[in-house]
Amino acid sequence: MSNDIEEPLDSEQAARMLGVKPRTVINLAKQGKIPAFRVGDLWKFLRSDIQVYIDAQRKQAKTGKAEEEEE
């Protein structure tokens, strides 16, 4: 039997994935830009949600860059 449950990351681990400070990740979560949940006072993140955010930011950057090149 495989364990398909994803182990949550803490804010420091999520921040390392994004290359930012933990406070930035928490602020993004509070703004609803990154899905997260709280366990007591601790913010928790799923690696897959962080990756979706990274992919969306890359796509947005490419789209924005392409629009700038067209001008």
37-39 and 9-10 strand pairing: unpaired
pLDDT at 15 over 90: yes
Q: Where are the domains of the chain?
A: 9-70
Task: Tell whether the model's pLDDT for residue 3 goes beyond 80.
Answer: no
Neighbouring C-alpha atoms within 13 Å toward the C-beta of 36 = 27
Tell the CATH topology of 9-70. Multidrug-efflux Transporter Regulator; Chain: A; Domain 2 (1.10.1660)
Give the span between the Cα atoms of 59 and 22, in whole angstroms: 23
67 pLDDT above the threshold of 90 = no
Taking all residues of the chain, what is their mean pLDDT, rounded to a whole number? 89
- Cα distances (Å, whole numbers) of residue 33 to 1, 27, 28, 36: 34, 9, 5, 9
